[in-house]
Amino acid sequence: MHIHILGICGTFMGGIAAIARAAGHKVTGCDANVYPPMSDQLRALDIDLIEGFDVDQIALQPDVFVIGNVVTRGNALMEAILNQNLPYISGPQWLAENVLHDKWVLAVAGTHGKTTTTSMLAWILEDAGLNPGFLVGGIPQNFGISARLTDLPFFVIEADEYDTAFFDKRSKFVHYHPRTAILNNLEYDHADIFPDLHTIETQFHHLVRTIPSQGLVIANDAEDSLKRVIARGCWTPVEWLDSATGWHTQGGESEFSVYFNGVKQGDVAWSLMGAHNVHNALAAIAAARHAGVSTAVACEALCQFENVKRRMEIRGTVNNITVYDDFAHHPTAIATTLAGLRNKVGNARIIAVLEPRSNTMKQGAMKDALADSLVAADIVFCYAANLDWDAAAALAPLSNRAHVALDLHQLVTAIADMARAGDHILIMSNGGFGGIHAQLLALLK
**Strands (E) located in 63-197:** 64-67, 88-90, 104-109, 133-135, 147-148, 154-158, 163-165, 168-171, 180-183
Q: How high is the pLDDT of residue 244?
A: 65
Record the pTM: 0.86
Residues 233-291 pLDDT 10s: 999 999 999 876 689 999 988 999 999 998 999 999 998 988 889 999 999 999 999 99
Is the pLDDT at 131 greater than 80, yes or no?
yes
pLDDT score, position 364: 82
- For residue 183, the cross-strand partners are 109, 219
Task: Write the burial class of residue 155 (CB in 10 Å: 0-12 exposed, 13-18 middle, 19+ buried).
Answer: buried
Q: Looking at residue 397, what is its pLDDT?
A: 95
pLDDT at 14: 92
Q: Which CATH architecture has domain 99-302?
A: 3-Layer(aba) Sandwich (3.40)
Same fold for the domain at 2-91 and the one at 313-444?
Answer: no
Residues 333-343 have pLDDT tens digits of 899 899 989 98
6 pLDDT tier (thresholds 50, 70, 90): very high
Report which residue type is found at 162.
Y
pLDDT recorded at residue 193:
87
Could you please report the per-residue DSSP string of 345-391? Answer: HTTS-EEEEE---SHHHHTTTTHHHHHHHTTT-SEEEEE-TT-SS-H
Residues 299 and 276: their CA atoms lie apart, in Å, by 16
| Confidence bin at 10 (pLDDT 50/70/90) | confident
What CATH number does domain 2-91 carry, 3.40.50.720, 3.40.50.1400, 3.20.20.240, 3.40.190.10? Answer: 3.40.50.720
Arithmetic mean of pLDDT over the chain: 93
Q: Could you tell me which residues come within 8 angstroms of residue 220 by beta carbon, excluding any fewer than 6 positions away?
A: 110, 183, 184, 185, 226, 240, 241, 242, 279, 283
pLDDT at 338: 94
Residue 219 to residues 173, 333, 393, Cα–Cα distance (Å):
16, 18, 37
Separation CA 397–CA 73 (nearest Å) = 42
Please tell me the predicted confidence (pLDDT) of residue 362.
81
Q: Tell me the pLDDT tens digit for each residue of 94-130.
A: 999 999 999 999 999 999 899 999 999 999 999 999 9
pLDDT computed for residue 186 by the predictor:
95
Most confident segment among 25-39, 307-321, 402-416? 402-416
pLDDT in tens, 195-235: 999 999 999 999 999 999 999 999 999 999 999 999 999 99
Please, which residues have CB within 8 angstroms of residue 370's CB and are 6 or more apart in sequence?
331, 334, 354, 356, 394, 395
Count how many residues are written for the chain: 445
Distance CA 37, CA 11 (A): 11
Across the range 148-172, mean pLDDT stands at 96
pLDDT classification of 178: cutoffs 50, 70, 90: very high
Q: Flag the least confident range among 41-55, 87-101, 219-233, 406-420.
A: 41-55
The model's confidence at residue 36, banded by pLDDT at 50, 70 and 90, is low
If one compares 365 and 424, the residue with the highest pLDDT of the two is 424
Tell me how many helices (H) and strands (E) the chain has: 15, 23
Residue predicted with more confidence, 331 or 107:
107
Q: How high is the pLDDT of residue 245?
A: 66
pLDDT at 242: 86
Structural domain spans, the chain: 2-91, 99-302, 313-444
Q: Which residues pair with 318 in a beta bridge?
A: 321
Cα–Cα distances in Å, from 331 out to 344, 381, 425?
A: 20, 15, 18
DSSP state string for 137-176: SS-BTTTSSSEE--SSSEEEEE---SEEETTEEEEGGGGS
CATH number for the domain running over 313-444:
3.90.190.20
